[in-house]
Amino acid sequence: MVHELSQHHTIANRFLAELRDVNIQKDRQRFRFNMERIGEILAYEISKTLPFKRVEVETPLGVANTYVPSQNVVLAPILRAALPLHQGMLRIFDEAENAFISAYRHHHKDGSFEINLEYLSCPNLSNKILIVIDPMLATGSSMELALTELVKNGQPVQVHFATVIASPYGLERLERLFPNAHVWMAELDEELTAKSYIVPGLGDAGDLAFGPKLQD
């Protein structure tokens, strides 16, 4: 299932507008903060789809009945760009376990690239809710590789992909490869260039959050 925040007019639209704005992007702290806020909203929306159980809570005056999530959540950000988005989601899923994946584009001289994975740290995923986090869903290659490696550590009962901006190409790829997964995004952009950049997009989320890196 696909869930797009921008299909409804909410405050998330303002946060996304600031993320895209070339002038506001100059403030790295503001960029990270807006990523975190969208992460909080995505986590809240995802929580609506999770299994819950009934519990009794003792108050100073009696007993209250309520419902709380019944299965553990594992947040899995793809480093480094996903860290601010992950931080926002972690504020909502504050009891979540965490996996970390280091994946990046290795560019070749002919303009092509491949996704390299250098590091993975993961808890047991059996019978848990897995949320794979990456702010830009361009080709879907990083998400595909991440999930393929993560599920070697156990089979989750639900898989969610959380992103800020997606391309139709990347979205179609995840839907085709993982038809039972949920894909959550702030907005779906219309174009993926020949170099696999999303347009209008927002630029390199990792560089905007943490500063430019040396090119490989």
Instruction: Please give the tally of structural domains in the chain.
Output: 1
pLDDT at 210 over 70: yes
Residue 13: which domain range? 2-50+69-210
Q: 196 lies in a domain? A: yes
CA gap 177, 3 in Å, rounded: 17
Q: 134 lies in a domain? A: yes
Q: 57 lies in a domain? A: no
Largest separation between any pair of C-alpha atoms in the chain: 70
Question: What is residue 113's three-state secondary structure?
Answer: strand
pLDDT at 106 over 90: no
Q: 215 lies in a domain? A: no
Q: 83 lies in a domain? A: yes
Q: 84 lies in a domain? A: yes
Is residue 66 packed enough to be buried (19+ CB in 10 Å), middle (13-18) or exposed (0-12)? Answer: exposed
Tokens (6 digits) for 194: 């020949």
Q: 139 lies in a domain? A: yes
User: What CATH number should be reported for the domain holding residue 12?
Assistant: 3.40.50.2020
pLDDT at 111 over 70: no
| Percent of all residues in the chain with a pLDDT value above 90, rounded to a whole number | 83
To the nearest whole number, what is the mean pLDDT of the chain?
93
pLDDT at 119 over 90: no
Cis link prior to 28 (omega < 30° from 0)?
no
pLDDT computed for residue 215 by the predictor: 62
pLDDT computed for residue 112 by the predictor: 64
pLDDT at 216 over 60: no
